Structure 1
Amino acid sequence: MSDDIEQLVSEMMADGEITRDELKRFEQKMLADGELSIQERRQIDRLLQAIADGTVTLVSEPD
């Protein structure tokens, strides 16, 4: 599971954008087993830092 999360975060960081759909998938993966591993926490921190730095932004998808 952690590898899936790391891959998803890497994809979001590579294109510099997070769509609402990606954010939902990220949340679902994080909450899937009811616990957060150290690796999952690191990915959360990595993504939050990228958002804080402005290297990743949340974008709206066209309707």
Structure 2
Amino acid sequence: MKPLSVLRKALVFGSFTLGIVSTLYGFLFNHQMAMALGQVALLAFLVLSVLLILPYWKSEPGVNPEMS
């Protein structure tokens, strides 16, 4: 697997973290807006994972999958 850029890692990790924290906050304190934000952030995590990480998963270390 080719190494990922820092921006790609930060986007995916940030959306995952925001989703988990918002969902837990909304669940624990019965806050509907936080629950909705958490669900949207977790959905964004799934979409960003597919768009930003999966093309690099099976690529060769010297090959950029965006160029092929």
Higher RCO (Cα < 8 Å, 6 or more apart): 1
TM, length-normalised to structure 1? 0.38
Query: Which has a greater percent of helix?
Result: 2
- Structure with max Cα Rg: 2
Query: Which has a greater percent of strand?
Result: 1
